[in-house]
Structure 1
Amino acid sequence: MTLPVRRRPSAMVRPGTALGARWDPFAQIDDLYDRMDQLIQSAFGGPVEGMWAPLADLRETDEAYVAEIDLPGVKKDDIDVEMNDRELIVTGEIKERETTGRVHRRMRRAGRFEHRVILPGEVDPEQVSATLSEGVLTVTVPKAERARPRHVEVKAGP
């Protein structure tokens, strides 16, 4: 049994365009990224329309949860950090820079952003701290005293 072979157009011609038109793979990648982002946000819940979520890491130490959020070019006055029970909410805005001349490609995001994460254990919301350094916002959320691991000394028996 033979399978049909699908013929592809020339690698340099984008499907659906006139012959000779240049194919821009970066435009297709950007479009794919935007579609995947919309799909994930609609499936799992995400920022409201018009907002985007910055890249972030969440790690846990014995004493705290630490969120590191990439916010290059954002000023500290444009960031808001809130704790609501165990949910960490970071919102703000990256203002679009004014440019002179012709813009050929705009890859950096601008506009309102929101990062939300529910922390896996009990926290002490009164002791939360946040620092912005070299484009990375580090939010440290201490664990509640009763949620921290305790060392139990083993004693010799009689």
Structure 2
Amino acid sequence: MLRFDPFTDIDSMTQSLLGAHTGSSRRPRFMPMDLYKVDDHYVLHADLPGMDPGSIDIDVDAGVLTLTAHRSQPDDGVQWLTSERFSGRYRRQVSLGENIDVDRISASYDNGVLSVILPVTERAKPRRIEITRGGSPVACGDRTPIEA
């Protein structure tokens, strides 16, 4: 079955004009991900089905989290009947705020989903501030007026 896709020709032409990598048109286009906050940490889930966990790299440099993965295609000696799965290198970058504790970032890979836990630093967590009056602490919520 042949399918006509006019954008494939435009993509190929653009890549050749810009000097992009030539080869298979089945290269990955993107890495879908979700990012949300729970309590005192952020959670990032990235879909990477069929990846060898050893091919996945996570780096943090200058406040940027970089996810990289690679899916190989079988050797050139195969006779392809259909090739619909992307192969090649996946890469995604996320800018981190100053409130992320980069020393405690952790990751796991399960059922094709990469999960990255981004904990918030202690100094960025909400906290209750104690109010003092004349050198002695006053409980927050105490409605006693403070004299100047």
Q: TM-score when scaled to structure 2?
A: 0.66
- SS across alignment from 1:60: strand
Q: Provide structure 1 residue ranges, at least 5 long, that are not aligned to the other structure.
A: 1-21, 43-48
Task: Tell whether 2:46 aligns with 1:69.
Answer: yes
Alpha carbons of structure 1 residues 29 and 122: separation in structure 2 relative to 1, 3 Å = farther
- The size of the alignment, in residue pairs, is 123
- SS across alignment from 2:5: helix
Alignment correspondent of 2:81:
103
Counting aligned pairs with the same residue, the percent is: 25
Alpha-carbon distance in 2 for matches of 1:29, 1:68: 33
Larger Rg: 2
Higher strand share: 2
Alignment correspondent of 1:112:
89
Q: TM-score when scaled to structure 1?
A: 0.63
Give, as a single letter, the amino acid of the residue that structure 2 aligns with 1:156: D
Alpha-carbon distance in 2 for matches of 1:70, 1:112: 14
Alpha-carbon distance in 2 for matches of 1:91, 1:119: 16
- Indicate conservation of the 8 Å contact 1:86/1:122, yes or no: no
- How far off is 1:96 after superposition? 1.2
Q: Provide structure 2 residue ranges, at least 5 long, that are not aligned to the other structure.
A: 22-26, 130-138
CA distances 1:44-99 after superposition (whole Å, capped 9, x unpaired): xxxxx557531111112231121111111112111111112431111121111358
